[in-house]
C-alpha cells in the first residue's frame, strides 16, 4: 500500500513531550523490554490420516519413514486481566516414505525398485491454558467517543419568527478515539515427540508363474575292464570265434544293467520332486496401495510476550 505524502509547509511546528511513568513495579534497577515466559506447556494431538500411493504403484513393503514437524499457527486468545486463555495450534507433519514398489518375481528371487513419497499430514487443535506463570499484558481495547455542538437555527417560512430549531449540529462530526498497540504473545517450539502406527491397507495377493524351468542332469562315467582267456577255434571261413561271441554277450549285458540303473535314478528323482511340490508352495506376496496412519503428536511449547521488566 502506497501513501502520497502531504505537502509540507515552510515552517516547523514544535511538539510537546510529556514524561510518563512506566507500568512496572516501583523498585530500584533499570527497566528493560524483554520476552517474558508466560507458560510452558505440552500439547498432545491425536492424528488419523490415510495416505494413498501414486496411481499404478504396487507397494510391497515400507522400508523407512522420516518425519519433521512444522507449526503454521500458534495464537493465544485471552481477555484482559484473565488468568486463563485458549491456544490455537495448527501445523503439519512432513513425512518422507521410502518403499519397495512394483515387485517382479524371477524364479526364486523377488525384484523391486526403491521409491519415496513425501506428504504433509495436517493437524489443528485448541488447548485450554488454565494458569500463567506471568499473566500476559493486555490486550487493551480501542476506545472511541463521539461528541457534538449545540446549534440554533431559524425554522423558516410558516413558523413564528421567535421560534428556533435547536439541537446538535448534524452537519459536523466530532470524536475522540484511542488506539492501543498491544504486544502479541508468540510461541517457540521446544520439542516434538511422535508416536505412530502405520498399517498397509487395500491388500491383494499377487501370483506370478515362474518363467524358469528346473533341469536336472544325470551323468555317469562307465569304465569297463575285461580280462578273458580263450582259445581260438577255427570253424571255417563262414564261422565266428568263441571269443567274439563272449565279448558281445558281456558288452550287451553290461550296458543293459547300466541303462536300468540310470532309469531307476531318474524315476526316483521325479518321484521325490513331485512329493516335494505337494508340501512346498512358493510364497505369495501382498500388494498394497494405501497406508492408514495413526499418530499421537506431543508438542512442547513456550508461550512468550515482550514486556517491560525492571531489573534489580
CA distance 50 to 125: 19
- What are the cell numbers at 262? 540310470
Per-residue pLDDT of the chain (312 residues; tens, 9 = 90+): 666 766 666 566 777 778 777 776 666 778 888 999 999 999 999 999 998 888 878 888 888 999 999 999 999 999 988 889 999 999 999 999 998 888 777 666 777 888 899 999 999 999 999 999 999 998 888 999 988 888 888 777 777 777 777 788 878 888 999 999 999 999 999 999 999 998 877 666 555 555 445 555 555 555 555 554 545 555 555 554 444 444 455 455 566 776 677 677 777 777 776 666 555 555 555 677 788 888 999 999 999 999 888 886
- Distant-in-sequence, close-in-space partners of 158: CB < 8 Å, separation ≥ 6: none
Beta bridge partners of 252: none
Reference 121, options 65, 191, 42; nearest CA is 65
| CA dist., res. 215 & res. 133, Å (int) | 80
Dihedral sign, Cα of residue 290, residue 292, residue 298, residue 303: positive
What was the pLDDT predicted at 221? 54
Residue 220, pLDDT score: 53
pLDDT score recorded for residue 243: 47
Q: Could you give phi then psi for residue 262, rounded to 5 degrees?
A: -65, -40
Return the HEC string of the chain: CCCCCCCCCCCCCCCCCCCCCCCCCCCCCEEEEEEEEEEEEEEEEEEEEEEECCCCCCEEEEEEEEEEEEEEEEEEECCCCCCCEEEEEEEEEEEEEEEEEEEEEECCEEEEEEEEEEEEEEEEEEEEECCCCCCCCCCCCCEEEEECCEEEEECCCCCCCCCEEEEECCCCCEEEEECCCCCCCEEEEEEEEEEEEEEEECCEEECCCCCCCCCCCCCCCCCCCCCCCCCCCCCCCCCCCHHHHHHHHHHHHHHHHHHHHHHHHHHHHHHHHHHHHHHCCCCCEEEECEEEEEEEEEEEEEEEEEEEEEEC
Q: What is the side-by-side order of every strand in the sheet holding 85-106?
A: 59-77, 85-106, 109-129
**Three cell numbers, residue 213:** 524351468
pLDDT of residue 12: 64
Please enumerate in sequence order all residues whose Cβ is within 8 A of that of 306, keeping only pairs 6 or more positions apart, or say none: 33, 34, 35, 36, 183
Contact 99, 116 (CB under 8 A): yes
- Contact yes or no for 138/36 (Cβ under 8 A): no
- Say whether pTM exceeds 0.75: no
Amino acid at each position: 500500500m502506497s501513501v502520497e505524502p502531504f505537502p509540507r509547509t515552510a515552517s516547523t511546528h514544535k511538539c510537546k513531550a510529556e514524561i510518563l511513568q512506566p507500568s512496572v513495579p516501583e523498585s530500584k534497577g533499570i527497566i528493560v523490554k524483554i520476552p517474558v515466559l508466560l507458560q510452558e506447556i505440552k500439547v498432545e494431538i491425536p492424528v488419523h490420516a490415510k495416505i494413498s500411493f501414486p496411481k499404478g504403484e504396487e507397494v510391497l513393503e515400507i522400508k523407512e519413514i522420516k518425519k519433521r514437524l512444522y507449526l503454521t499457527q500458534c495464537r493465544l486468545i485471552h481477555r484482559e486481566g484473565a488468568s486463563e486463555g485458549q491456544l490455537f495450534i495448527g501445523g503439519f507433519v512432513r513425512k518422507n516414505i521410502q518403499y519397495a514398489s512394483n515387485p517382479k518375481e524371477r524364479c526364486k528371487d523377488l525384484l523391486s525398485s526403491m521409491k519415496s513419497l513425501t506428504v504433509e499430514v495436517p493437524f489443528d487443535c485448541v488447548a485450554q491454558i488454565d494458569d500463567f506463570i506471568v499473566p500476559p499484558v493486555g490486550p487493551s481495547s480501542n476506545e472511541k467517543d463521539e461528541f457534538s455542538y449545540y446549534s440554533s437555527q431559524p425554522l423558516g417560512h410558516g413558523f413564528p419568527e421567535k421560534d428556533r430549531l435547536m439541537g446538535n449540529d448534524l452537519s459536523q462530526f466530532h470524536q475522540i478515539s484511542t488506539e492501543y498497540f498491544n504486544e502479541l504473545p508468540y510461541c517457540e517450539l521446544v520439542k516434538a515427540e511422535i508416536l505412530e502406527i502405520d498399517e498397509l491397507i487395500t491388500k491383494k495377493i499377487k501370483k506370478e508363474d515362474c518363467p524358469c524351468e528346473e533341469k536336472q542332469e544325470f551323468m555317469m562315467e562307465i569304465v569297463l575292464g575285461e580280462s578273458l582267456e580263450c582259445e581260438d577255434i577255427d570253424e571255417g571261413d563262414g564261422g565266428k570265434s568263441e571269443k567274439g561271441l563272449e565279448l558281445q554277450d558281456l558288452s550287451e549285458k553290461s550296458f543293459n544293467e547300466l541303462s536300468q540303473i540310470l532309469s531307476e535314478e531318474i524315476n526316483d528323482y521325479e518321484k521325490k520332486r513331485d512329493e516335494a511340490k505337494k508340501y512346498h508352495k512358493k510364497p505369495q506376496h501382498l500388494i498394497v496401495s494405501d497406508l492408514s496412519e495413526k499418530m499421537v503428536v506431543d508438542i512442547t511449547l513456550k508461550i512468550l510476550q515482550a514486556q517491560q521488566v525492571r531489573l534489580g
